[in-house]
Amino acid sequence: MTRYGTKNGEQEYEYTMTNHNGLQALVLNYGATLEKILTPAGDNLILSLDSPKAYDQERNFLGGTVGRVVGRLPGHVWRFGDQEIVLPKGEGENAIHGGAEGLDTQVFTGSYREFADYDEVYFTFLDPAGHNDFPGNVRVTVTYRLDDEDKLTYHVDATTDAPTLFNPTNHVYFALDGEGSTVDDTTLTLACDFYAPLTDHLPIDGWAPVADTPFDFTQGQRLGDVMPQVLDGAGFDHPFLNKSAQAATLVGESGRKMHLTTTAPGIVIYTANHFDHTGVAHNIGQHAGVALEAQIPPASGLDWSAITLLPGQPYRLTTSWQFEF
């Protein structure tokens, strides 16, 4: 554990987990962030900034625990029973990524634990009622576990004392071929038969079959072959419905592989369309990585029942990334 700075009077720490094979995962208590995944040769498998402190200088979501609610909430107004909760606008009329001070911008309390066949870092945070205008005091626990099977597991648990909305994810971008490359030559396979078309970045028209579209990754597709066909060539930013816990596999041109398993019913694929080598992310360009955001998939319209968290009904998410390198 290394202290590297402070944010709003809270001390910031970097934690390093190392398995018996030499694979390392570095995480930050700022935003319960996954900072780096390093092979025994020192190659980084995800997009990272220059230093731990850079993560609180500019909001890029790299490896962060994004919430309370990831993605866009159309209309920014939540109606529950006779309550009407007005959430802060973040993109036009929509709430986005949990508000301006989402979980990815908070300093968690962390602890490191070492066991015989895995290392673990355990983060906790109490998100108070009214923060970012969300109701309910929400206790959030984020756990990273690196085992000797070269698997990094990410757990999120949460409870609330009042009805609220909750749908977090980890926003890590995988870059299996290393810094300076793109994901053009990365092959993505998804266990997903349906995706959500977008209107103004929102999935408002329900689900569509992937068959005979650029969204069909069931047999694997090279991303560079299909990104030019989507969002006027920008790339992917789309939800998919998982039909299996074994949700996704990435294979880089280098031969490195990542297998994603999740308890989440959906996954959003985002191909780093907006990066342009500016700010603290000066080392990151368009399509430098791909995010596979395991989450409850966005609903059409204003039906947010699937992401409503109630007292006495704990939230749990488990996502694992297993590597071959």
**33 alpha-carbon distance from chain centroid:** 10
Using CA atoms, how far residue 253 sits from 6, 223, 292, in Å, is 39, 11, 18
Q: According to the model, what pLDDT value does residue 201 have? A: 85
Instruction: Record the tokens describing residue 209, joined without a space.
Output: 């079959």
pLDDT band, residue 115 (cuts 50/70/90): very high
Count of Cβ atoms closer than 10 Å to residue 132 Cβ: 21
Q: Pairing between strand 109-114 and 118-127? A: antiparallel
pLDDT band, residue 200 (cuts 50/70/90): confident
Residue of 239, 240, 234 lying closest to 274 (CA atoms)? 234
Helix/strand/coil percent split, the chain, to 5: 10, 45, 50
Q: According to the model, what pLDDT value does residue 303 have? A: 80
Mean pLDDT of the chain: 96
Q: According to the model, what pLDDT value does residue 312 have? A: 99
pLDDT band, residue 302 (cuts 50/70/90): low
Average pLDDT value for residue range 291-311: 88
Instruction: Record the tokens describing residue 203, joined without a space.
Output: 């999935």
pLDDT of 299 over the 70 cut: no
> Over the stretch 241-261, which tens digit does the pLDDT of each residue have?
999 999 999 999 999 999 999
Average pLDDT value for residue range 224-253: 97
Q: According to the model, what pLDDT value does residue 300 have? A: 59
Domains and CATH numbers, the chain: 2-324 (2.70.98.10)
Strands (E) located in 215-314: 221-222, 237-241, 246-251, 257-262, 266-270, 290-295, 308-309
Distance (Å, whole) CA 296 – CA 237:
15
Residue of 92, 105, 95, 44 lying closest to 69 (CA atoms)? 95
Average pLDDT value for residue range 30-34: 99
pTM value surpassing 0.95: yes
Count of Cβ atoms closer than 10 Å to residue 37 Cβ: 28
Q: According to the model, what pLDDT value does residue 301 have? A: 61
57 Cβ partners below 8 Å, 6+ apart? 280
> Over the stretch 142-158, which tens digit does the pLDDT of each residue have?
999 999 999 999 999 99
Average pLDDT value for residue range 251-280: 98
Average pLDDT value for residue range 87-108: 93
> Over the stretch 36-52, which tens digit does the pLDDT of each residue have?
999 999 999 999 999 99
Average pLDDT value for residue range 80-95: 89
Average pLDDT value for residue range 226-241: 96
